Amino acid sequence: MLVDSHCHLDRLDLAAHGGSLDAALNAARERGVGHFLCIGVSAENAPAVKALAERYADVHCSVGVHPLDLEPGVAPALDWLLTELNHPQVVAIGETGLDYHYQPEAAPLQREAFRLHLEAAQITGKPVIVHTREARSDTLQLLREAALPQAGVLHCFTEDWPMAKAALDLGFYISLSGIVTFRNAQALREVALQVPADRLLVETDAPYLAPIPYRGKPNLPQYVREVAEFLADLRGVSFDSFAEQTTANFQRLFSLAHLSRS
């Protein structure tokens, strides 16, 4: 069984499935995807991701505010975040983090919001889902300062091995998306070869970043199979063992003893 450890089910382009989320999830299930983590990015979409996790037995969710979804000049309220996290199907905080590629001018606000999410992680013990782009030093500094009891994951990882190693040393997991299949991603493939087997996750980040051979098209959870098959081949292991390992990693990180609910 595979897990799509990071997808935005409330944002999918469902044209390929007749507009049906049920059909899209069934297509993924038919390809061996047994669980989905639906990611929160804002206060506005928190109700949607929680509703999806309540609706489907094989979906859990996270709640948080993406650095590019912050209201100008306003960090999220800690009380709001803690209240949202107190929901049985919310298993993680985020996605949160720093993105200096698109909004370098918002760096101070992003750092303030990131610290708030990390404080929520310290209080709740839930893992944090980290987005980082062109902010290596600040991301690692804030993670070190937080000294979290339960680390989390650097999702859709695109940085170099020194950053991956630093995050691993802090207890974090590394999640790889369809980007690793792109022809210009040789440096990322070198990272993928070095991440310990018990600290690796796979994701789609759907509807974004579809893997080869679907690059340029809307991404779907069913395509996590392509990411996993590519990585299994790259690392020289069987697909079945790779799927089993990454699923076990997901269960461990998000404290899920089993991945289906009655």
Segment 92-146, tens digit of pLDDT = 999 999 999 999 999 999 999 999 999 999 999 999 999 999 999 999 999 999 9
Q: Which domain holds residue 11?
A: 2-253
Q: Look at the chain and report how many structural domains it folds into.
A: 1
Q: Is the pTM of this model over 0.85?
A: yes
125 belongs to a structural domain? yes
Tell me the C-alpha to C-alpha distance, in Å, between residue 90 and each of 30, 43, 81.
Answer: 25, 14, 11
Question: What is the side-by-side order of every strand in the sheet holding 128-133?
Answer: 2-7, 33-38, 59-63, 90-99, 128-133, 152-154, 173-176, 200-202
40 located within any domain: yes
E strand residue ranges, the chain: 2-7, 33-38, 59-63, 90-99, 128-133, 152-154, 173-176, 200-202
pLDDT for position 258: 67
Instruction: Examine residue 112 and state whether it is found in any structural domain, yes or no.
Output: yes
Q: Answer whether residue 260 is part of any domain.
A: no
Domain of 110: which CATH number?
3.20.20.140
Residue 35 located in a structural domain: yes
Please report whether residue 262 resides in a domain: no
Tell me whether residue 127 is in a domain. yes
Does the structure show a pLDDT above 70 at 259? no
Supply the mean pLDDT for the chain. 96
183 pLDDT exceeds 70? Answer: yes
Residue 20 domain-assigned?
A: yes
Residue 261: band (very low, low, confident or very high) from pLDDT cuts 50, 70, 90? very low
pLDDT tens-digit readout, 42-94: 999 999 999 999 999 999 999 999 999 999 999 999 999 999 999 999 999 99
* pLDDT band, very low/low/confident/very high, at 257 (cuts 50, 70, 90): confident
The string of DSSP codes covering 16-73 is GGTT-HHHHHHHHHHTTEEEEEEPP-STTTHHHHHHHHHH-TTEEEEE---GGGPBTT
147 pLDDT higher than 70: yes
